[in-house]
Amino acid sequence: MNSFDRYLHNSDALPVMPETAVQLMRTLERDDTSMTEVAALIERDPGLAVKVLRVANSAAVGAQREVANLRDAANLIGMRSLRDLSMAACVANIFPTDSTFDRERFWRHGLATAGHAKVLAGLCNVDPDTAYIAGLVMRVGRVLMLMVEPEIVAHCDQLNDSPDSLIGHEMEWLGCSHLEVSAALAKRWNFPKAIVDALVAARDPLAALPFSALGAVLRLASTLADAGDLQLPEVDTLLAVQPELMARMGLSADALLKNLKSWDSLTQGVNQLLS
């Protein structure tokens, strides 16, 4: 038995990915996906459609006029952003709301990780849309860990007072990290193998064989999100914490400063997604 199987043994209690999200993810595999198709998929889930329209009408996407329907939203923010937004809404609402963890802070971190992963992927010849979804689910395993071993997970949280330190604390106290649990969940949800493998590789990207560029992007994005959550300068923090991985990916501070989005811009829509 793997060290993380204890979080997955009760299959009836595991979250189920909505069919709409599964269908949206499959559109990643095709180059001919259209705005009309993506909008039509979202419209099949009225609750999801309402959330997406709410975010599209918020400052989070910079809307200058009211968006009346999903096709207007697609035209305003683009088909890819509409799909990303819809996936975020699906994933953020598949877990119970009565958990003891700070749900809003958790998903702010998730949205920041996803947004940073998308930008980093574009700089590293990795598919940005795949990176966004992988970043979005990178820490979902922590929710299952919290349900099974709340005291130890909470202890790891208390120790987690510096960027990119959580994985080490989890390995010491739990014998595994949230990444393995997230990867197992992603596999159950029939996510692409590239995402599952990258989530595992993100625990130690430089040691992973074969090397996973997506896994490296995820670790860097998570570190940036940690810095934003702790209100630290993100690029300086990344340089201090992950210099070897940045060098392996050919990333410079100048490129990051030029292309990364702010924490606020990446996380403003979280209230609409969770309401």
State residue 60's pLDDT score. Answer: 45
Which sequence spans correspond to the domains of the chain? 5-14+100-268, 18-93
State residue 248's pLDDT score. Answer: 97
Q: Which segments of 193-269 does DSSP mark as H helices, in order?
A: 193-201, 213-229, 234-241, 243-248, 253-259, 263-267
Q: Band the pLDDT of 135: cuts 50, 70, 90.
A: very high
State residue 200's pLDDT score. Answer: 97
Over residues 73-92, the mean pLDDT reads 85
CATH number of 5-14+100-268: 1.10.3210.10
Percentage of the chain exceeding pLDDT 90: 53
Distance separating alpha carbons of residues 180 and 202, to the nearest angstrom: 9
Over residues 43-61, the mean pLDDT reads 78
- Whether the per-residue pLDDT at 122 is higher than 50: the answer is yes
- Whether the per-residue pLDDT at 47 is higher than 90: the answer is no
Higher pLDDT, 162 or 72: 162
Over residues 132-158, the mean pLDDT reads 92
- Whether the per-residue pLDDT at 62 is higher than 70: the answer is no
Q: Which segments of 35-192 does DSSP mark as H helices, in order?
A: 35-43, 46-56, 70-77, 79-92, 103-123, 128-136, 141-148, 150-159, 166-174, 178-188
Threshold 0.85, pTM exceeds:
yes
User: Are residues 238 and 219 in contact, defined by beta-carbon separation less than 8 angstroms?
Assistant: no
Q: To the nearest whole number, what is the mean pLDDT of the chain?
A: 89
Higher pLDDT, 14 or 204: 204
- Whether the per-residue pLDDT at 61 is higher than 60: the answer is no
Least confident of 66-70, 144-148, 246-250: 66-70
User: Are residues 208 and 201 in contact, defined by beta-carbon separation less than 8 angstroms?
Assistant: yes
Tokens of 193: 């193998």
State residue 107's pLDDT score. Answer: 92
- Whether the per-residue pLDDT at 96 is higher than 80: the answer is no
Q: Residues 6 or more apart from 217 whose CB is under 8 A from it? A: 117, 120, 121, 124, 126, 131, 135, 198, 249
